[in-house]
Amino acid sequence: AQQAGKELRCVSWQIAGTGGQWTTTGCKRVGGDTSHSICACTHFSTFAILMTIHPIKDSFALTVVTYVGMSVSLVCLFLAIITFLLCRSLWSVSVTLHLQLSICLFA
């Protein structure tokens, strides 16, 4: 539903390298009312309707929390992997599964 001060955009997912981004290329909002939107696109892809209330700004605090959190997580996963590999007396199917899960999360 479109409300005052909010803008609706019909978008599709565009793959770019190893990631992707939402793009309005080839899609536009052609109709609708306060509770529905009608979009028309010129291609098949993954689609969404995005609503912006205000421009999205980068947050320094969020960036710091992201990098610190990721660093701590990687260090802890590395320590878990080393522990699983070095403590052979603990080996079991459960430990092997946890080791493989830790390696996948670390990767």
**Cα–Cα distance measured from residue 4 to residue 53, given in angstroms and rounded to the nearest whole number:** 9
Q: What does the pLDDT look like over 54-89, one tens digit per residue?
A: 666 778 988 899 999 999 999 999 999 999 999 888
98 pLDDT band (50/70/90 cuts)?
A: very high
44 pLDDT band (50/70/90 cuts)?
A: confident
Whether the CB-CB separation of 49 and 37 falls below 8 Å is answered with yes
Q: Which residue has the tokens 């909002």?
A: 29
17 pLDDT band (50/70/90 cuts)?
A: confident
Q: Which of 10-14, 32-36, 59-63, 97-101 has the lowest mean pLDDT?
A: 32-36
- Residue 3 or 107, more confident: 107
42: pLDDT strictly greater than 90: no
Whether the CB-CB separation of 46 and 80 falls below 8 Å is answered with no
What's the whole-number average pLDDT of the chain? 82
**Cα–Cα distance measured from residue 53 to residue 23, given in angstroms and rounded to the nearest whole number:** 18
Q: What is the DSSP string of 48-105?
A: EEEEESS-----HHHHHHHHHHHHHHHHHHHHHHHHHHH-GGG-SHHHHHHHHHHHHH
Residue 1: the pLDDT is 46
In this prediction the pTM is 0.49
